[in-house]
C-alpha cells in the first residue's frame, strides 16, 4: 500500500528526452541518494532534490521525444494561472461525462452525431489555463494523445517507487500537488465540455439522444444539424459530423 509523502515536493520540472533514465537511476542508487522513480509506457520520471525530470520511455509506443516538453509547459502555465487567479475555485455544478435521454423516441428517423474536435484543449486555452503559444504548438492529430495526457496529469496524485540511501523501498509513495486547486483545473475543463453538451441537448429538445464526452447524438434533420453547428461556430469550436454506413 502506498504512503503519502511531503519530502519529495516538486519545485522544478524539466525534460531530457534523449537520456537513458535507467542509467540515471543506477547512478543515484550507487551514490546512495534519496529519490523517487516512476516508469510508464510513455515516459519515465525521476524526482530528486526537488527537480522532476521527465525522460522518454524506451517503449516503442512512447511519446515522441520532441513533444515531451508540452507536459512541462502545461503544468507551468497551469500553476501561473492559479497564481494570477488566487480566488479561482471549481464551479459547484457538476455534469456527467456521459448522458442518455431515455425518453428519446427511436421509432422514426435516424441518429447522427457531431464530435467537437480538440474540445478539452480549446477549453483549457479559452479558460486561460494554457497560453496561446502552447495551444498553437500542440495542434494536429499527432498531438492528440499528448494533449489529453498533459491536461489529465494536472494535479493528479501519482505513485512513485521510493529509494532511500540508494535502496528501493518496499512500498511506493504518493505525491500530491503543492496547490490542491490544480487538481481541479482538469475537472473544470471537463465540466465545461459537459456543460456545453447539456446546453446543446437543451436546444435539441426531444430530438436529443445522448452525449458521450465531447460527442453529441441526435435525430438527423437539417434543422437539428444547424442548431448544433450554430452553437459550436458561435463559440469557435471546430467539429466533425459522424458518417454512418447505412449498409452496416
pLDDT in tens, 100-133: 999 999 999 999 999 999 999 999 999 999 999 9
Identify the three-state secondary structure at position 104. Answer: coil
Q: Bridge-partner residues for 241, per DSSP?
A: 114
Residue whose C-alpha cell is 502552447: 134
**Mean per-residue pLDDT, 54-80:** 81
User: What is the Cα–Cα distance from 113 to 241, expressed in whole angstroms?
Assistant: 6
**Mean per-residue pLDDT, 50-74:** 79
Kindly report, residue by residue over 22-60, the tens digit of the pLDDT. Answer: 999 999 999 999 999 998 877 888 999 888 888 877 665
User: What is the Cα–Cα distance from 21 to 16, expressed in whole angstroms?
Assistant: 9
Residue 157 — very low, low, confident or very high, per pLDDT cuts 50/70/90? Answer: confident
Q: Which three cell numbers stand for residue 108?
A: 422514426
Domain regions of the chain by residue span: 3-241
Q: Which three cell numbers stand for residue 18?
A: 534523449
DSSP letters spanning 74-85? HHHHHHHHHHH-
Q: Is pLDDT of 223 > 50?
A: yes
- What pLDDT, on the 0 to 100 scale, is given for residue 247? 43
Considering the entire predicted model, what is its pTM?
Answer: 0.79
User: What is the Cα–Cα distance from 188 to 177, expressed in whole angstroms?
Assistant: 16
Q: Which three cell numbers stand for residue 166?
A: 540508494
Phi and psi at residue 170, to the nearest 5°: -65, -45
Among the listed residues 147, 148, 117, 144, the one whose alpha carbon sits nearest the alpha carbon of residue 134: 147
- What pLDDT, on the 0 to 100 scale, is given for residue 105? 95
Q: Is pLDDT of 7 > 80?
A: no
State the average pLDDT for the chain: 88
Decide: 78 and 154 in contact? Cβ < 8 Å.
yes
Strand residue runs (E) in the chain? 3-5, 12-15, 35-39, 43-48, 51-56, 98-100, 111-116, 158-164, 167-168, 173-175, 208-212, 215-219, 239-241
**Mean per-residue pLDDT, 4-15:** 68
Q: Which three cell numbers stand for residue 245?
A: 454506413
**Mean per-residue pLDDT, 201-215:** 96
**What CA–CA distances, in Å, run from 11 to 29, 145, 149?**
22, 26, 21
* % pLDDT > 90, the chain: 58
Residue 244 — very low, low, confident or very high, per pLDDT cuts 50/70/90? Answer: low
- What pLDDT, on the 0 to 100 scale, is given for residue 248? 43
Amino acid at each position: 500500500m502506498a504512503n503519502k509523502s511531503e519530502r519529495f515536493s516538486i519545485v522544478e520540472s524539466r525534460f531530457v528526452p534523449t537520456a537513458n533514465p535507467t542509467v540515471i537511476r543506477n547512478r543515484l542508487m550507487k551514490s546512495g541518494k534519496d529519490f523517487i522513480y516512476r516508469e510508464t509506457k510513455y515516459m519515465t520520471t525521476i524526482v530528486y532534490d526537488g527537480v522532476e525530470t521527465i525522460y522518454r520511455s524506451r517503449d516503442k509506443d512512447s511519446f515522441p521525444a520532441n513533444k515531451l516538453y508540452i507536459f512541462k509547459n502545461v503544468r507551468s502555465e497551469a500553476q501561473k494561472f492559479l497564481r494570477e487567479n488566487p480566488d479561482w475555485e471549481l464551479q459547484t455544478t457538476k455534469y456527467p461525462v456521459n448522458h442518455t435521454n431515455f425518453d428519446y423516441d427511436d421509432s422514426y428517423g435516424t441518429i447522427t452525431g457531431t464530435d467537437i474536435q480538440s474540445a478539452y484543449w480549446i477549453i483549457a486555452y479559452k479558460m486561460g489555463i494554457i497560453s496561446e503559444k502552447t495551444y498553437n504548438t500542440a495542434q494536429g492529430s499527432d498531438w492528440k494523445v499528448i494533449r489529453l495526457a498533459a491536461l489529465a496529469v494536472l494535479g493528479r496524485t501519482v505513485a512513485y517507487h521510493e529509494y532511500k540511501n540508494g535502496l528501493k523501498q518496499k512500498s511506493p509513495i504518493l505525491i500530491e500537488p503543492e496547490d490542491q486547486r490544480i487538481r481541479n483545473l482538469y475537472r473544470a475543463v471537463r465540466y465545461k465540455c459537459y456543460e456545453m453538451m447539456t446546453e446543446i441537448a437543451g436546444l435539441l429538445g426531444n430530438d436529443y439522444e445522448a452525449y458521450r464526452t465531447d460527442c453529441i447524438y441526435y435525430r438527423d434533420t437539417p434543422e437539428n444539424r444547424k442548431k448544433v453547428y450554430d452553437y459550436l461556430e458561435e463559440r469557435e469550436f471546430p467539429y466533425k459530423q459522424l458518417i454512418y454506413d447505412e449498409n452496416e
